[in-house]
Amino acid sequence: MEKADRTKTGVIFNIQKFSVNDGPGIRTVVFFKGCPLQCRWCSNPESQLPKVQVLWDAKKCVHCFHCRAICPRQAVSYANGRILIDHIACDSCMECVKECPARALKSEGETKSVQEILDVVMQDEVFYEESGGGITLSGGEMLSQPYFALELLKAAKEEGLHTCCETTGYADFKIFEQLLPYLDLLLFDCKHWDPLEHLKGTGVINERPLINMRAAIMAGKDVLPRIPVIPGFNDSLNDAAQMARVLKDCGASRCQLLPFHQFGENKYDLLGREYSYHNTDALHKEDLEDYRTCFVQNGIDAFF
């Protein structure tokens, strides 16, 4: 296989060590910044923009407007009691973050090379060996920076690591198939069985994810479809039966159900964005037993 380019850089927003929920064993999870989907319930909304960005904390701000005065790109404005950052105009110079007297601004995301990430990941090599763990690429979405993901996966394989991704599968197949040889396990998000409902909830139709998931299964890869169960979006028994049908059609025989939670709620405030699920109760396993059974009755081994 071709040697990895370890100088390749990308934008990430976190490296999380000792994770036990993102693939087998003990793992280090690398969170990519940028996502081609805009799921209304996203629990990592700070991951959606594919660049380093500025977050504003209303509780700390003293409304001196120094940030607005010094921004060389006129990217800072003020409306309805909030500091607003125009993320298209902003070039991530971070002058406002450095100069804010109240530390009300912070940057989210950083640029790292493949080697810099591996230096962190390999610190826990001994734990991967003992537990059957490795590296997981998450996000955001690794496919928003596919060539950075490709070099990171190649380098991880050169180090003998087990590789996993948590992915929406949203990419052109010609790109997706280049990453496949370097992935041992794909945790594949399936948001909705119906293309138009998928579009309403995420901003894109589900055609590409389904093509790519089917291809990964056909290639003999270990693929686990995962369904975030979202109230009012995909939580009916009809949704369960239809999703089971679509999964079977792609060659899957099992799936994991991820009940809706509110972990990302306060992040929307920091980003100055509306959150559609403020008053929606979290779901629990007990709420979804009929839903799970419906998958099983339709030939898919569903579990939590």
Is 67 a binding residue for ligand SF4 by CB under 6 A? The answer is yes
Q: Are 50 and 163 in contact (CB under 8 A)?
A: no
Please give the size of the binding site for ligand SF4, defined by CB under 6 A: 27
Q: What residues pair up with 105 in beta bridges, in sequence order? A: 56
Q: Which stretch binds ligand SF4 (CB under 6 A): 42-50, 56-64, 141-149, 232-240?
A: 56-64
Q: What residues pair up with 14 in beta bridges, in sequence order? A: 31
Q: How far is the CB of 210 from ligand SF4 (least distance, A)?
A: 38
Report helix, strand or coil for 276: coil
Cα gap 145→34, rounded to integer Å: 8
How far CA 173 is from CA of 69, 177, 178, 207, in Å, comes to 46, 6, 9, 11
Is 71 a binding residue for ligand SF4 by CB under 6 A? The answer is yes
Q: Which stretch binds ligand SF4 (CB under 6 A): 68-76, 120-128, 136-144, 199-207?
A: 68-76
Is 204 a binding residue for ligand SF4 by CB under 6 A? The answer is no
- Give, rounded to a whole angstrom, the gap between the first and last alpha carbons of the chain: 37
Cα gap 241→245, rounded to integer Å: 6
Q: Are strands 82-85 and 76-79 parallel, antiparallel or unpaired?
A: antiparallel
Answer for which of 16, 18, 20, 63 binds ligand SF4 (CB under 6 A) is 63
- Residue 100 or 302: which CB sits closer to ligand SF4? 100
Site string for ligand SF4, 84-103 (x = CB under 6 A): -x----xxxxxxx---xxx-
Answer for which of 104, 135, 257, 288 binds ligand SF4 (CB under 6 A) is 104
Q: Which stretch binds ligand SF4 (CB under 6 A): 82-90, 171-179, 224-232, 250-258?
A: 82-90
Nearby residues of 22 by Cβ (< 8 Å), 6 or more positions away: 29, 136, 138, 164, 166, 187
Chain residues in the site for ligand SF4 (CB under 6 A)? 54, 56, 61-67, 71, 73, 75-76, 83, 85, 90-96, 100-102, 104-105
